[in-house]
Amino acid sequence: MTRVRLRDVALRAGVTVGAASLALNEKPGVSTETRERVRDAAREMGYAPHQGARSLSKGRTGLWGALFDADADAWQPWLSGAMAHALAYGARLMVQRMPARERKSETFRQIVAEARLDGLLVLDPEGDDTPLKPLWDAKVPTVVAGRRSRWFDCAEIHDRLALEQLLGRLSLDGKRPVALVASREQVQREDPRIQSWHDHCAGIHDESPLVAVPDDSPDAGIWATGQLAKISPQVGAALCLSGDRTAWGMLREARLRQISVPGDLAIAGWGDLEPSSWVDPELTTLHLPWEDLGTRTAWLLQNRLASPNGPKVHRTLDARLVSRRSA
């Protein structure tokens, strides 16, 4: 079917293309009678303005940037949510992984100088605003996801309440020690969730060990189970802050060692990856709403483009405890 163009509507209404544009865009310069005649013609012909032309008429390209510095478990669902909202709004996304920290500022300077973007979505949970200064100086509409921002609109996930709920469940409200299995990277950067675990265990049991693993993998979980058996054989629960994959390995190794889960050892993960509802027993874990965060991030950019001078906005989403049979 041939696309109905503005000149076709103008011809049907008996006016110039310029007059038709003024009438359809609610701008002065045409009479009320002409405006109604053009609207009727557009409605009868099924005319819809071309999104690209509309964007250019507003000084926009309809193109948003989406940059991320996070692992795949976070950025893939985040991007899915952001893309769905952007497409519904009529925008397209230019997607790029951010480089190493020392090159981030240069990347954003290049974007300011070369890219024709209406705005940027930045997923950067472990970062800070310093590399984003070129965007701030150039007044590029930007939304930061995964953490607070001093300068830009931002959206983040709060997990403290859900973590407290999970620790209470694992410790039976303070009746047994809870081991923490964390990645070496989390330990090195002094992840605040490790401090939350320390605070929860303080004064309850002194035998709540921390086991550092190289990564989030089933092999790491197998190794961590062996370490716990050596250093704290009486521990009754383990939280795999490193991630669900580590917990899968612990479940497997517990079965091989004939350790009853959750009878002898309650195990919980972090992230609520899809296979966590398939393992045996099904894994108790924390669900992090990355896809919803992507949707919210894109909505904030849409809102910022509509209200460039509005106050800075900070939005939060809550993590959720997913209780299953492993704890």
Q: State whether 131 and 275 are in the same domain.
A: no
**Residue 191 domain-assigned (yes or no):** yes
Helices (H) and strands (E) in the chain, counts: 13, 12
Beta strands in the chain (DSSP E): 63-68, 92-97, 119-123, 142-145, 153-158, 178-183, 210-213, 237-240, 266-268, 285-287, 314-318, 320-322
Q: Is residue 322 part of a domain?
A: no
pLDDT exceeds 70 at position 59 = no
Q: 56 in a domain, yes or no?
A: no
What pLDDT, on the 0 to 100 scale, is given for residue 58? 52
pLDDT at 18: 72
148 and 164, same domain (yes or no)? no
Residue 178 tokens read as 């809870």
245/197 same-domain check: yes
Do 128 and 201 share a domain, yes or no? Answer: no
| Domain total of the chain | 3
Between vectors from CA 149 to CA 180 and to CA 163, what angle results, nearest 5°? 25
Mean pLDDT over each residue of the chain, to the nearest integer: 89
Residues 130 and 198 in one domain: no
Note the pLDDT of residue 89: 86
Provide the pLDDT for residue 51: 46
Rounded to an integer, what distance in angstroms lies between the CA atom of residue 282 and that of residue 303? 40
Q: Same structural domain for residues 184 and 143?
A: no
Same domain, 17 and 133: no
Judge if 262 and 205 occupy the same domain. yes
Distance separating alpha carbons of residues 117 and 304, to the nearest angstrom: 14
**pLDDT for the residue 196:** 93
What pLDDT, on the 0 to 100 scale, is given for residue 53? 46
Q: Does 131 share its domain with 89?
A: yes
Residue 143 and residue 203 in one domain: no
Q: What tens digit of pLDDT does each residue of 262-293 get?
A: 999 999 999 999 999 999 999 999 999 999 99
Both 152 and 296 in a single domain? yes
Task: Give the pLDDT confidence of 237-251 residue by residue, as tens digits.
Answer: 999 999 999 999 999
**Mean pLDDT value of segment 33-49:** 82
User: What was the pLDDT predicted at 115?
Assistant: 72
pLDDT, average across residues 40-44: 85
Note whether residue 325 is domain-resident: no
Contact 55, 64 (CB under 8 A): no
**Residue 87 sits in a domain of what CATH number?**
3.40.50.2300
Range of 188's domain?
160-287
- Does residue 57 register a pLDDT over 50? no
pLDDT at res. 45: 81
**Per-residue model confidence as pLDDT tens digits over 81-111:** 999 999 888 899 999 999 888 888 888 888 8
Share of the chain above pLDDT 70, in %: 93
